[in-house]
């Protein structure tokens, strides 16, 4: 990857309330300040547009058999400031190239008694601030046995919050986001990241983390008032510890995204920008795309002449559909591998007799379709080297790894080990049953997506994945990065008709809503979830086939968490617009096309809810019209509805490529 990079030496330390140093964003509107109180307590605060977003909040690390580091007797001994402006390219994401422009300060601190040392690095972007701890090698801390992190986030004003409350640290992050006043979150609740809240009259903010390496995942709770406190996933082998690190070491970045509107946070690239540059080198083999998928339909057999199941004929059927629909991949889910004799463990180096994988891959290759395989993480951990070598030999393009359901220090390193060894074998990765992304895909672009969300699969056994949920997760979970939500259910029904079932599952909301999800939700590897016969002959398949999985530009046009959203994304010189609304009522959005270049004529293909889509959710209306910059599209959506639009240069102008 080519990148341009500039570092400019700056040194600006202001002395306020004792000792304080500040990093200010390039546009001057956002800042993060680090201060030491008269008692030597380490604190920081965040200011946006002259107003506090995060009030003075404590920092520090709790170490086993030592006094906490950063909570008393600290003094600033040096500060080194700088500015960086970098552009780099990614094979998939919401924008390309990505600009990484920030101002920074590294603050060196030392205890007045005891002499222990600590540094804190601050960075300020135009739409986020971040900080991390740096613990240098020193006589008193050769091995840091971390029992807790003392970081706090004192939100400046009471307002709505959208927490994902989890039962514990062993979790897949698959639950409902709720709307509640910040002060109404129960004190013992464990809050997942990203965490979204509003400080009314000041800003929207979201808290998350980046560059999670050899360290546990971060959570929050609310011990009192409007202050959130960090909690870290404990180690499995020593539950009293969260991390064991040799010095020197750095913590992950703690991020506060800030914007005037919630949609501004969706456009933020801080998680990527705070992660290390790619270690792959040539990443031309990393190809984003959509996949036909055999699991969602539950083995349904309609209009086929063979017995469906985990067998060669069924997998060929999905491969053939992927080729017909112009999909890049076909994912073979659980059940393809043999079992270890006498155990319940899968042997992912051996294939069950009913599946002729060589024949399937050969046919897929002839049809320009890549094959992915599913695997349980325990099998991958046990057989990684041998299995990945075989997968490369078999011609497999990627692996969906499932059921990790934790993010303690060991499991975090398992993800990194998978990403590195998969890259060595030119294998792409989908982490399912996973924690939220933390930027690993910049370091290893073969990491295409994480699940970490309650996705469409939940409709097979519940009614929990509603249109209201779908207009919440872009403002919450998606702030961390792409997600394997698995859209594309075409058995669209009303709430009165809905029933959860494993075979031929139903979806809540309209078909246009399902189509728009392919634009609204970010993902380098996305399922086309339903069975082939659900799509064949349907006009909406053309849109799903064409919509890209990697973007050059993303703009959030309008949106309110839990209510509605409108996003425009560009690939080449084509634009795609996705609009979604929640379940409660019909909605009309005015979508200005100000993002189009002026003076050029475009053609818009519009897939809208039929006027009676509230009663018949499968019905869409396709319209075509010429459009220009300055025009306004009207998105008339049924309850739980949507609109999906493709905008491309009119005849005589070269269209963008997929």
Give the residue from 207, 16, 27 showing the smallest Cα distance to 101.
27
Spatial distance between the Cα atoms of 88 and 356, rounded to a whole number of angstroms? 42
pLDDT of 8 above 80: no
Residue for token digits 């919440």?
A: 472
pLDDT of 181 above 60: yes
CB 628 within 8 A of CB 581: no
CB 558 within 8 A of CB 564: yes
By three-state DSSP, how is residue 378 classified? helix
Cα atoms in the Cβ-side hemisphere of radius 13 Å centred on 526? 30
Confidence of residue 305 (pLDDT cuts 50, 70, 90): confident
Spatial distance between the Cα atoms of 251 and 240, rounded to a whole number of angstroms? 18
Q: For 478-493, what is the mean pLDDT?
A: 98
By three-state DSSP, how is residue 460 classified? helix
108-144 pLDDT tens trace: 999 998 899 999 999 999 999 999 999 999 999 999 9
pLDDT of 171 above 70: yes
pLDDT of 15 above 70: no
| Structure token pair of residue 222 | 């609310």
User: How many CB atoms within 10 Å of residue 552?
Assistant: 17
Residue for token digits 């997506």?
A: 449
pLDDT at 247: 96
195-231 pLDDT tens trace: 999 999 999 999 999 999 999 999 999 999 999 999 9
Computed over every residue of the chain, the mean pLDDT equals 95
| Structure token pair of residue 380 | 């991958």
Spatial distance between the Cα atoms of 313 and 127, rounded to a whole number of angstroms? 51
Of the candidate ranges 136-140, 142-146, 575-579, 648-652, the one whose mean pLDDT is the lowest: 648-652
Q: For 291-301, what is the mean pLDDT?
A: 90
User: How many CB atoms within 10 Å of residue 21?
Assistant: 25
Confidence of residue 610 (pLDDT cuts 50, 70, 90): very high
Whether cis (ω within 30° of 0) applies to the bond prior to 194 is yes
CB 425 within 8 A of CB 400: no
By three-state DSSP, how is residue 25 classified? coil
Spatial distance between the Cα atoms of 633 and 637, rounded to a whole number of angstroms? 12
Beta bridge partners of 508: 493
Residue 162 CB partners (closer than 8 Å, separation 6+) = 177, 178, 179, 195, 196, 197, 472, 475, 476, 561, 562
Instruction: Print the SS3 string covering 223-252.
Output: EECCEEEEEECCCCCCCCCCEEEECCEECC
Structural domains of the chain, ranges and CATH numbers in brackets: 3-273 (2.70.98.10), 289-452 (3.20.20.70)
């Amino acid at each position: 990857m080519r990148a341009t990079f500039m570092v400019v030496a700056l040194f600006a330390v202001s002395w306020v309330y004792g000792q304080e140093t500040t990093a200010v964003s390039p546009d001057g509107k956002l800042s993060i300040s680090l201060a030491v109180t008269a008692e030597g307590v380490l604190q920081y605060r965040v200011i946006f547009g002259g107003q506090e977003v995060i009030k003075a909040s404590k920092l520090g690390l709790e170490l086993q058999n030592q006094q906490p580091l950063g909570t008393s007797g600290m003094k600033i001994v040096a500060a080194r400031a700088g500015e960086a402006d970098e552009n780099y390219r990614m094979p998939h994401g919401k924008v390309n190239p990505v600009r990484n422009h920030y101002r920074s300060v590294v603050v060196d601190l030392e205890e007045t008694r005891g002499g222990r040392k600590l540094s804190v690095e601050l960075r300020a972007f135009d739409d986020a601030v971040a900080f991390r701890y740096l613990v240098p090698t020193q006589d008193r801390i050769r091995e840091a046995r971390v029992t807790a992190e003392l970081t706090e986030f004192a939100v400046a004003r009471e307002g709505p919050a959208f927490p994902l409350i989890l039962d514990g640290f062993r979790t897949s992050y698959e639950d409902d986001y709720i709307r509640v006043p910040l002060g109404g979150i129960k004190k013992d609740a464990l809050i997942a990241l990203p965490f979204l809240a509003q400080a009314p009259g000041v800003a929207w903010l979201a808290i998350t983390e980046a560059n999670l390496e050899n360290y546990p995942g971060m959570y929050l709770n609310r011990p009192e008032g409007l202050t959130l406190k960090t909690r870290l996933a404990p180690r499995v082998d020593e539950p009293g510890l969260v991390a064991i690190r040799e010095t020197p070491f750095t913590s992950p970045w703690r991020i506060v995204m800030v914007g005037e509107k919630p949609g501004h946070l969706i456009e933020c690239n801080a998680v990527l920008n705070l992660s290390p540059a790619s270690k792959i080198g040539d990443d031309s083999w990393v190809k984003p795309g959509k996949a036909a998928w055999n699991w969602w339909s539950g083995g349904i057999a309609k209009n086929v002449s063979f017995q469906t199941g985990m067998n060669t004929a069924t997998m060929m059927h999905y491969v053939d559909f992927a080729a017909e629909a112009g999909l890049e991949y076909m994912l073979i889910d659980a059940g393809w591998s043999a079992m270890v004799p006498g155990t319940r463990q899968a042997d992912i180096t051996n294939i069950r007799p009913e599946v002729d994988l060589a024949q399937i891959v050969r046919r897929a290759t002839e049809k320009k379709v890549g094959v992915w395989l599913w695997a349980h993480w325990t099998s991958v951990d046990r057989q990684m080297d041998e299995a990945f070598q075989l997968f490369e030999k078999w011609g497999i393009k990627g692996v969906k790894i499932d059921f990790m359901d934790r993010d303690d220090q060991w499991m975090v390193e398992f993800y990194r080990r998978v990403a590195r060894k998969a890259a060595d074998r030119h294998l792409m990765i989908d982490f399912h049953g996973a924690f939220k992304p933390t930027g690993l895909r910049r370091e290893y672009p073969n990491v295409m997506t994480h699940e970490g969300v309650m996705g469409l699969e939940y409709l097979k056994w519940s009614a929990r994945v509603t249109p209201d949920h779908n207009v919440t997760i872009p403002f919450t979970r998606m702030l961390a990065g792409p997600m394997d939500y698995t859209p594309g259910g075409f058995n669209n029904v009303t709430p009165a008709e809905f029933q959860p079932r494993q075979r031929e599952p139903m979806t809540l909301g309209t078909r246009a809503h399902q189509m728009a999800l392919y634009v609204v939700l970010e993902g380098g590897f996305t399922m086309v979830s339903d069975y082939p016969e659900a799509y064949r002959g349907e006009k909406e398949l053309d849109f799903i086939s064409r919509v890209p999985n990697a973007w050059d530009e993303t703009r959030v046009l309008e949106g309110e968490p839990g209510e509605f959203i409108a996003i425009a994304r560009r690939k080449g010189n084509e634009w795609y617009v996705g609009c979604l609304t929640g379940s409660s009522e019909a909605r009309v959005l005015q979508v200005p096309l100000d993002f189009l270049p002026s003076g050029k004529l475009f053609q818009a293909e519009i897939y809208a809810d039929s006027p009676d889509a509230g009663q018949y959710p499968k019905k869409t209306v396709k319209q075509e019209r010429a459009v220009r910059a300055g025009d306004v599209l009207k998105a008339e959506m049924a309850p739980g509805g949507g609109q999906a639009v493709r905008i491309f240069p009119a005849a005589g102008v070269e269209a963008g490529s997929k």
